[in-house]
Amino acid sequence: MTTAGDLMVIRPRRLELPVWLVAVGLIVRWLWRGLWWCLRHPVTVGLVVVGVVLYRQFGRVGLIVPVAVASAVSAVWRWKHEASWWAWCGGPVLGRFRQVFVYRRAWREAMTLCGLARTYDHRPVLPQLLRVRSDQALDVLTIRMVRGQTPEEFQRVTANLAYAFGRRHARIYTERPDQPPVRSGYWALVLGAVDRLRYRDRPSLVYLVIVRTDALRTVVEPFDVPTNPDFTALPLARREDLRHWCLHLLATHVLIGGATRSGKGSVLWSLVRALAGGITSGLVRLWVIDPKGGMEFAMGRPLFARFACKSFEAMADLLDEAVAVMRERQTRLAGAVRVHTPTEADPLVVVVIDEMAALTAYLQDVELRKRIASSLGLLLSQGAGVGVLVVAALQDPRKEVLPFRDLFPTRIALGLTEAAQVDLVLGDGARNRGALADQMPRWAKGVGYVILDGTPEPARVRFSYISDEHIRELAAEYPAPSDAADILAQVGRETADEPARPSLPRQRRGPLLPDSLLNFLDRDADGGEPR
Ligand SMILES: Nc1ncnc2c1ncn2[C@@H]1O[C@H](COP(=O)(O)OP(=O)(O)OP(=O)(O)O)[C@@H](O)[C@H]1O
């Protein structure tokens, strides 16, 4: 008899199987696993089968000759067309190798110690490594999350993951980090359909990009000056995957935040270099404000249509004139276009301001500061659409220093001194998503974080280094046209006429209230007769 408090242990009945049946069961299970593996790895299986057949037919020579020929073909391919070699040969092979020998071996340990493993039904459950794709610099790991996990959990431990696999930098993407290729020709329709399938939204996956070789450690040489700059894609920097990072300048304002000596100058000069072709052809006018007395920009004076570096009065005038240009364009273009297209007659005006805080916070003359703030506010809120853009650099991104921070749609964060400043420059949550701009090593001058088009995750880039020599050459080769400073002459030109408005048919004049309410207001409060 049991009494209250007695412990009853209930165990399911154990099925006793004969040993031979257990052995057969295990063999079938292993055979099935082997077959499944072969089905999933047809290339490896095919190569092994071919290798065995060749070896049996021709002995060692049967193996050595094909390997030598394949190596020679691969070497020539890489030499002639490195990009396609990485995409079709080197990348997949290296990725597979690293998946098996690097990531799989440390996977369980890394996931558990980084806090990404879960326990379900008394058993550990790990995120699943599906695929590794490598290129010259990066490994892209496709990971299936454990049910109930979110990408934010991976983003929080991005640095831990990088160090767990022996690297310094990693980034988590919620969608495939690469863009679908642009297809053309006969097969475009079919390949496009395949791409749509490959690039479909897969919420259960995250992509961990591990920087294997830090391509940003070496200084980036200046890019070629485009004769006709594409204002939607100006090459300014090198990305971690060795591609160019291009700035979309059209219809946006750009804010560059970076501590002193972090390389803000290289961002501004890379932009000037990318625009230089347009400066000479008259498509762009640079209006430059250098509150540091010309230390940064005076060397490139011939490139600039307007330049103010000494008197704050002159800087305020320059901004007022930019507002005048903006107003004139607004009046002229209203109703005709919604976004201004730069032409020689109507060029893009880019107001470049180095150390913006000197104008918005540190200027002692309160009246002048207010005047500057009001012009800047107008330019930032209304100038982008009419081709009057502001590109500004500053060291301290706090609101007291730069009240218009939120009016800059495009932001770049170079090395910063505090973790909190990263979100102030790039927007809330950017640091959690991997923009560790406050942890820049000393060598990382001109290295910064930018937000790539279409992805919320920040990317790390290094801006090209423009030396004094390059600036002198640029100024000599691409001076602004002689009438460049004269844009204000346009401001006086005739504005568009008022459009002729067809008269509408006259409506019958009548009471504005329905008949039932007509006399209502005249009644007494107790609903009596109209007064
Ligand atoms: N892209 C780059 N690659 C390599 N070195 C760079 C790069 N940009 C800047 N440097 C070096 O970093 C140092 C600081 O650069 P720079 O003067 O442009 O910084 P800054 O942020 O504009 O400084 P400040 O706030 O004092 O104006 C310089 O010695 C420069 O040579």
CA 295 to ligand 1: nearest atom: 27
Q: Measured in angstroms, how far is the CA atom of residue 24 from the centroid of ligand 1?
A: 71
Q: Where are the alpha helices (DSSP H) in 334-467?
A: 357-360, 366-382, 419-426
Mean pLDDT in residue range 65-85: 92
Q: Measured in angstroms, how far is the CA atom of residue 445 from the centroid of ligand 1?
A: 6
Residues contributing to the annotated binding site for ATP: 258-265
User: 261's torsion region: left (phi>0), alpha (psi -120 to 50) or beta?
Assistant: left
Domain 234-492 has CATH 3.40.50.300: yes
- Tell the residue nearest (CA) to atom 3 of ligand 1: 465
Q: Residue 514's pLDDT band (boundaries 50, 70, 90)?
A: low
Gap between the Cα atoms of 284 and 282, Å rounded: 6
C-alpha distances in Å from residue 286, one per residue of 90, 389, 407, 446, 470: 44, 10, 20, 22, 18
Q: Residue 529's pLDDT band (boundaries 50, 70, 90)?
A: very low
CA 354 to ligand 1: nearest atom: 27
Q: Measured in angstroms, how far is the CA atom of residue 467 from the centroid of ligand 1?
A: 10
State the residue for tokens 């109209």: 530
Q: What is the pLDDT of residues 174-205, one digit of tens each?
A: 988 887 888 888 888 898 899 899 888 899 99
pLDDT at 104: 94
Mean pLDDT in residue range 39-56: 91
Task: Give how far the C-alpha of residue 70 lies from the chain's centroid of Cα atoms, to the nearest Å.
Answer: 38
pLDDT at 508: 55
Q: Measured in angstroms, how far is the CA atom of residue 465 from the centroid of ligand 1?
A: 8
391 near 247, Cβ under 8 Å? no
Instruction: Classify residue 356 by its DSSP letter.
Output: T
pLDDT at 363 over 90: no
pLDDT at 498: 47
347 near 275, Cβ under 8 Å? no
| Structure tokens belonging to residue 306 | 């307007």
pLDDT at 282 over 60: yes
Burial classification of residue 135, based on how many CB atoms lie within 10 Å of its CB (0-12 exposed, 13-18 middle, 19 or more buried): buried
Tell me which of 182-186, 292-296, 439-443 is least confident.
Answer: 182-186
List, chain by chain if needed, residues with CB within 6 Å of any ligand 1 atom: 219, 258, 260-266, 395, 445-446, 463, 465
Residues contributing to the annotated binding site: 258-265
pLDDT at 530 over 60: no
Q: What ipTM was estimated for this complex?
A: 0.96
Q: What is the pLDDT of residues 62-72, one digit of tens each?
A: 889 999 999 99
pLDDT at 339: 77
Rg (CA), the chain: 33
What are the residue ranges of CATH 3.30.980 in the chain?
85-177+193-213
What are the residue ranges of CATH 3.40.50.300 in the chain?
234-492
Pairing of β 388-394 and β 348-353 = parallel
C-alpha distances in Å from residue 337, one per residue of 229, 233, 326, 452: 22, 22, 14, 27
Mean pLDDT in residue range 5-13: 70
Q: Ligand 1 pocket test: which of 220, 236, 238, 262 has the largest number of ligand atoms within 8 Å of its C-beta?
A: 262
Q: Ligand 1 pocket test: which of 221, 236, 266 has the largest number of ligand atoms within 8 Å of its C-beta?
A: 266
Q: Measured in angstroms, how far is the CA atom of residue 394 from the centroid of ligand 1?
A: 13
Q: May I ask the CATH class of domain 85-177+193-213?
A: alpha beta
Q: Ligand 1 pocket test: which of 255, 445, 465, 467 has the largest number of ligand atoms within 8 Å of its C-beta?
A: 445
State the residue for tokens 């160019």: 244
| Structure tokens belonging to residue 229 | 């700059």
Q: Measured in angstroms, how far is the CA atom of residue 466 from the centroid of ligand 1?
A: 10
